[in-house]
């Protein structure tokens, strides 16, 4: 069972998109991204993909949601893996952290009712 805690007006959970993760990793700044998302260190960062960083938690979707991601992907014209990220954020009731270059994904997330957090 997963419990998501919210307090202080700011969510304590984020879902990280793979492209934002890859971008930060390429610049050797994944930990800096963590610090920026959670300056007090109390936020939890989830992904739908496996990472080598111990502070990013892999959270695969259940089979039913994976099937839903395929449908959502077709509906929003995005790849299924990006639809999975949107569905995970929706399930968790938290923002999806994206790179500034992911304008199309931000628009798709907003259409699906998911808040986004854009990082430069």
Say which CATH number the domain at 94 has: 3.40.50
Task: Please report the pLDDT score of residue 9 as a whole number.
Answer: 52
Asked whether residue 39 is domain-assigned, the answer is: yes
Task: Please report the pLDDT score of residue 66 as a whole number.
Answer: 85
Indicate the pLDDT class of residue 1, thresholds 50, 70 and 90: very low
Examine the pLDDT at 120 and tell me if it is beyond 90. no
User: Rounded distance, CA 39 to CA 6, Å?
Assistant: 15
Asked whether residue 47 is domain-assigned, the answer is: yes
Q: What is the largest CA-CA distance in the chain?
A: 38
Task: Please report the pLDDT score of residue 2 as a whole number.
Answer: 42
User: Rounded distance, CA 116 to CA 105, Å?
Assistant: 9
Domain that holds residue 113: 6-119
Asked whether residue 1 is domain-assigned, the answer is: no
Asked whether residue 40 is domain-assigned, the answer is: yes
Indicate the pLDDT class of residue 62, thresholds 50, 70 and 90: confident
User: Rounded distance, CA 60 to CA 120, Å?
Assistant: 26
Model pTM score: 0.83
User: Rounded distance, CA 83 to CA 108, Å?
Assistant: 9
- When divided into structural domains, the chain yields a total of 1
User: Rounded distance, CA 113 to CA 120, Å?
Assistant: 22
User: Rounded distance, CA 82 to CA 70, Å?
Assistant: 10
Asked whether residue 18 is domain-assigned, the answer is: yes
């Amino acid at each position: 069972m997963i419990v998501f805690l919210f307090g202080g007006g700011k969510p304590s959970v984020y879902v990280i998109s793979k492209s934002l993760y890859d971008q930060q990793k390429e610049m050797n700044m994944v930990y800096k991204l963590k610090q920026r998302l959670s300056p007090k260190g109390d936020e939890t960062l989830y992904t739908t993909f496996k990472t080598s960083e111990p502070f990013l938690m892999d959270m695969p979707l259940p089979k039913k949601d994976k099937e839903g991601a395929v449908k959502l992907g077709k509906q929003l014209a995005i790849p299924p893996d990006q639809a999975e990220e949107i569905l995970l954020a929706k399930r968790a009731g938290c923002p999806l952290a994206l790179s500034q270059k992911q304008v199309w994904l931000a628009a798709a997330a907003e259409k699906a009712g998911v808040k986004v957090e854009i990082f430069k």
